Structure 1
Amino acid sequence: MTLLRSTARTMLASYFVVSGLKAVRDPDSLVPAAEPLVDGVVPTVQRFAPEQVASLVPTDAKTWVRINGALELVGGIALATGKGRRLGAALLALSLVPTTIGKYPFWSRSDPAERAADRDHFLKNVSLLGGVLIASRDTEGKPSLGYRAHKGGQALAKNTNAIAADTKKAGRKVAKETRELTDSALAEGALLVGALVGTTGKNRKKIKKQIAAAKKTATRQAADARQAATKAAKQAQRDAGKFAKHTGRDAGKQLEAAKKEAAKQIAAAKKSAQKFTENIELGEN
């Protein structure tokens, strides 16, 4: 298929390379056919274009013939070699429009033979225009940029939802563990403080040991909560890292959002653990 495409592109480009080279080297022979089109189009362009642009528009047909020939030459070489073939085909399509209208205006011919000949050449150029338009859209079996952008957007949306769901799930888990930790801390603190106030000096040492054990348990629970949040954040980071190979900056934004959410949950766990410690300290006093 690649050999067939290369051969077909070269065959299609051959006409434009020869025609473009002729127009660049010998524009005088084409000026008479180009003058009516140039005289009709250039004044209109200069009238509606900005002043800075209008001053740069050539007014002589010879210059336009050479410009059009250069487009054909560059586009034909690009199409034949395959280097920038789609852009080259687009340039050829652009050059064909004025060439066809200027050289073969069969509708203005009064002689039947000339009208028929120009009509045939006009239709030939229309066929060439169709061929180069197809070539300008040929991706050689690969997905087009538009298709890849569409699929990439769908994948990004899917991955974003997955990261958001994982982070939200981890946040709910940390919040639940933090609430349980706080409730347990308050309950145990109240019981231990009450026991400490109401007991005799004989049992104070035992109660203080219980307070120390409760503090240790609370610290461990807080560490577990922080570890759960950190684990969720790392998982989100790994998921975003894999997806970043395909989506770049968009995946990076999602990763940052996941990190911020996990950091909030970790901060909440730390705050709850600190509150528990303060309650225990009040109980000891």
Structure 2
Amino acid sequence: MEENRTKSAPRSRDGAQTIHRTAALLREIAAARGGGASLGALASATGLVPSTAHRMLQALVKEELLAKDAASRAYRPGRLLYELGLAAAPPFDLRKLCEPVLRRLAEATGDSTYLTVRSGEDALCLDRCEGSFPIKALPLEVGNRRPLGVGAGALAVLAALPRPEREQAVLANAARYPRYRITPERVREELQATDRRGYAVTTGRFVARYRGVAVPFGAGAAPAASLCIVAISERLKPERLERVAALLSREARTLNGLLAQQAHPEPAGDWT
């Protein structure tokens, strides 16, 4: 019996490794969003040998978890992935809860507002509301993913985590940061600045003229998340930036109260 258990252990580890590799491929494809991702880019991003990545991608296409574009040969999320997602209902609908908040912020500032939430070692753009200002700052689409710490919204999400989890996320993303012209050391410095101010600020991470300001909320029983406003830099100079940050903080406190109520609802009254 002991010999059988010993022989089966490597197979168990291999199975777990395959799952981790598959999840890494799916995350990278989701991050590419509409444009899809090539075999070479996926192999490079995940550290897989191209031949291994190709075999895994082909299997995912066969299972309809992925689709492959015949012209560009890029891989995109498949039909089954969407269908499985429909069944993965979260404990509560954070997007629905935050929708009126995003709308209020967009109306009050005239700028683009974003809801970002933690997804593993990534930050996921869960929702967006455009403001009335003619020049739109739209660096992210709903569904876009970035490593935690990249951009104001993702930096604020990272700041919402307990310090040990922050460091784990920074280390996990260390190899990915250079693609965004940032280093783990820079992320740690920006986290310290975020802690001092109470809000995150980044400029030109995706588009040179854009500046983002974000405030964390959630964590604990609720997901770590952030509210973020992105605008052209001229609209977020220091004086106005402080006012916008105060507005974000007020809405974040409101959301924390709502999340606390959902996590610990008041007991129902006795109608008998």
Q: Which has the higher strand share?
A: 2
Same fold by TM-score greater than 0.5: no
TM-score, length-scaled by structure 2: 0.23
Larger Rg: 1
TM-score of the two chains, using structure 1 as the length reference: 0.22
